[in-house]
Copies of this chain bind each other. A is one copy, B any other.
Amino acid sequence: MSEKPATGETTPVTDALVQVSFAVLDVLNRSAAELDLSLTQLRLIGILRDRSPNMAALAEFLGLDRSSVSGLIDRAERRDLVVRRPSTDDARVTLIDLSPAGRKVGERIGELVNARMDELLNGIPVGDRDQIVRIAQRVLASDT
């Protein structure tokens, strides 16, 4: 099924990436749901694994409005996944840390996602996996 880029038709490579992304999204969603997390909370925890950003930076990472992040952190804090920590430099800024419990959840999520991604990649040879990593790095490198 070779494609022609007709009116509004997506190109083969666009189509391929979109389809795979939805499959990956499904893996992430199901993994998150298993721990009663939303996809955004999963991302949040992933980001906080090796960072303690302020609200603005977090909004930037997640591509969300700051007010959205306020609510997100409210709910995550209520569930003891993260902690708000006032900055000592600037009394306006709030830094976000993963709580110990949040870190544990992060580890469990990582395992779940790994397992399910393994299923998704079942039958994909090592060579192709290396290609995935290589090409992904290229794509992400040029993505500001």
Contact = CB atoms under 8 A, between A and B. Distances in A.
Number of copies: 2
Interface stretch (A1-9, A52-60, A67-75, A81-89): A1-9
Interface string A92-112: 000000000000001111110
Given A13-B117, A63-B26, A124-B135, A140 B8 contact: no
A83 to B, nearest CB: 19
Mostly, the A contact residues are helix
Nearest to A63: B26
Interface of A: 5, 7-14, 16-26, 28-29, 43, 63, 106-111, 113-114, 117, 120-124, 128-129, 131-133, 135-140, 142-143
